Chains A and B, each alone.
Chain A
């Protein structure tokens, strides 16, 4: 029994390493990045579009707008496809076919992001330059690449959400004479909506946090984009592009960019958790 207690204590200590790691990350990112935000002034840092590290001017509004733009674009493409896939796989697909399709979609998640970026660079960018206009490196290119990249995340969480809807809902609806599609879009999608919402939010986190693929297809220009064919720079690519080259205040400002990213991601994570918790809590009442 004594041994058991000891083991329990050791296991608990190890189990705390995840939260410990999170704590360390938070601590060090903020320690490096927060002072400079306060020094520059919160308003100046977040609301200025002037990023000229050589002249000690650090405003990241362009990058925030850039991140939001490519993320929204990615979601516009990714969500439609992900929901379609989730519905096909859960409602209209023989289990055997689903058993083949699911791992294939998971394989999409396994492909390195640099490969996505590269494929985007050699196939999508020339097409955009030729047929849509602009330099090719653009919000549009990033949206397409990221849209494909978030697909596995959003699809698999949406599938879980759809599968979590009690079977009796489906049976009741079909017994009333509804077709499968009517059942799906009138009933299942509504019952699973909070889970799907959580999936979309987590997908947004993925898109906003993606770095390498984005660097390769956005052109990294500092101007706020006016059209979807304009080049753009995101928070993540700002860090990866300049981190290796940065010193002093400039490096700190890049950590501050990381702090911004961290806060956005944490907000999205918490939102996703809150949304899916509501589903669990509300499940019994319905």
Chain B
């Protein structure tokens, strides 16, 4: 193909030049734009915080007046229309506690292996891939799995144990990731000092690394507790929805979140629904505050040592 000689650019017509000049003049100066944009962005932040405050305030305002001592210590009557939520509190504590007790050691051990005991390679990539994928799986799919695997295949039935095992799998990635970050944040000099004193790798890990990383790890564990408490879809399919106090880990038990779902969705009792939600939200607030406090401590200590 022959290249045509490049034609000189046509002169810009005067009218267009004037237009361009006008456009530039009309455009707000960069500083003005910045002010507008920053105001908009702050407005968004304000709306978000307002939504948060609204949700928490709405629930607490409607619910707290109904949260009485008897509400917390009685069993529900007539499907939760009357009575309290004691069995749900017990159920929630058992399911959540057990889930975290199962997941925490596994998660921390995984994090220790990834950080202290092996070099980055194909195996670590596979483990991380597994954890990342697990983190993305929707809770309803965990529920389906827990139902068919724990409840039916392993014969545990709709029970606290099935629910706890399912939740353990669900919070595992969170614990792995936060523990790994906490362990990585421990300065390398600590390990060198420990090895220098003749400790084995295991001693170093146990007494130096894990001990320094503990607040960070605890933050992850506490956040997992929060996530387990909030979970509804997965426990609905695995822990069942029995209203009574459980006698054993093989009994079905309804968690607070699921109880709230039934009360609200089936319109059983507005007062009890709000009160249950208030208990739930208070628990979540307390857990997040605790996690925040632990995190601050961790950062403060890290800063001090660095």
Interface string of A1-24 (1 = CB under 8 A from B): 001100110111011111111101
The answer, yes or no, to whether A106 is at the interface (CB within 8 Å) is yes
* Chain A binding surface SS class: helix
Q: Is the CB of A11 within 8 A of B145?
A: no
User: B236 in the interface, Cβ–Cβ < 8 Å?
Assistant: yes
B237 within 8 A of A: yes
Contact A181 B38 (CB under 8 A): yes
Q: Does A111 contact B (CB under 8 A)?
A: yes
Residue numbers in B under 8 Å from A179 (CB-CB): 30-31, 33-34
Q: Is the CB of B145 within 8 A of A18?
A: no
Complex Cα spacing A178 to B34, Å: 11
Kindly state whether residue A76 has any CB partner on chain B within 8 Å: no
Report which of B41, B149, B202 forms a contact with A24, defined as CB distance below 8 A: B149
For residue B284, which residues in chain A have a CB less than 8 angstroms away from its CB? 107, 110-112
B173 adjacent to A18 (CB under 8 Å): yes
Neighbouring B residues of A35 by C-beta, 8 Å: none
Q: Determine whether A210 belongs to the interface, using a CB cutoff of 8 Å to chain B.
A: yes
User: With an 8 A cutoff between CB atoms, is A188 at the interface?
Assistant: no
B298 within 8 A of A: no
A255 touches B49 (CB 8 A): no
Q: Which residue of A lies closest to B136 (CB)?
A: A269
Q: Which of B127, B169, B264, B285 contacts A114 (CB 8 A)?
A: B264
Interchain pairs with CB closer than 8 A, number? 240
In whole Å, how far is A120's beta carbon from the nearest beta carbon of chain B? 10
A216 touches B264 (CB 8 A): yes
The verdict on B59 contacting chain A, using a C-beta distance below 8 Å, is yes
- With contacts A110-B284, A209-B139 taken as known, whether A4 is within 8 angstroms of B114 at the C-beta atoms is no
Cβ–Cβ contact B145 & A28, under 8 A: yes
A189 at the interface (CB under 8 A from B): no
Taking residues whose C-beta sits less than 8 angstroms from the other chain, chain A's interface range is 35 or more
Interface mask (B266-293 → A, CB under 8 Å = 1, otherwise 0)? 0000000100010011001101100010
B112 in contact (CB, < 8 A): yes
Q: Is the CB of A258 within 8 A of B44?
A: no
Answer whether A236 and B140 are a contact pair too, CB < 8 Å, given A3-B202, A111-B230, A115-B277: yes
Tell whether B73 is near chain A: CB-to-CB under 8 Å: no
CB contacts (< 8 Å) of A223 on chain B: these are: none
Q: A92-B41, A92-B42, A104-B49 are in contact. Are A119 and B55 (CB under 8 A)?
A: yes
A:97-126 near B, CB below 8 Å: 101, 103-108, 110-119, 121, 123
Q: Which residue of B lies closest to A6 (CB)?
A: B202
Q: Which of B41, B172, B236 contacts A18 (CB 8 A)?
A: B172
Interface residues in chain A, defined as those with a beta carbon under 8 Å from any beta carbon in chain B:
3-4, 7-8, 10-12, 14-22, 24-25, 28-29, 32, 80-81, 84-85, 87-89, 92, 101, 103-108, 110-119, 121, 123, 148, 151, 178-182, 202, 205, 208-212, 215-216, 236, 239-240, 243-244, 254-255, 258, 261-262, 265-266, 268-269, 272-273
Can you add 15 more A-B contacts, CB < 8 Å, to A17-B106, A107-B284, A181-B30? A11-B112, A18-B173, A28-B145, A88-B45, A92-B42, A107-B288, A111-B55, A112-B280, A112-B284, A114-B264, A117-B261, A181-B38, A205-B136, A211-B233, A265-B138
Enumerate the 10 nearest inter-chain pairs by beta-carbon distance, A residue then B residue, closest first.
Answer: A209-B138, A19-B130, A112-B230, A84-B44, A11-B113, A181-B34, A15-B113, A211-B233, A15-B110, A14-B109
**What are 23 inter-chain pairs, A to B, with CB distance below 8 A?**
A7-B201, A12-B117, A14-B106, A18-B130, A22-B133, A24-B149, A87-B41, A107-B284, A110-B284, A111-B230, A112-B257, A113-B233, A114-B230, A115-B277, A117-B264, A202-B136, A205-B136, A210-B138, A212-B233, A240-B237, A261-B141, A262-B141, A265-B136
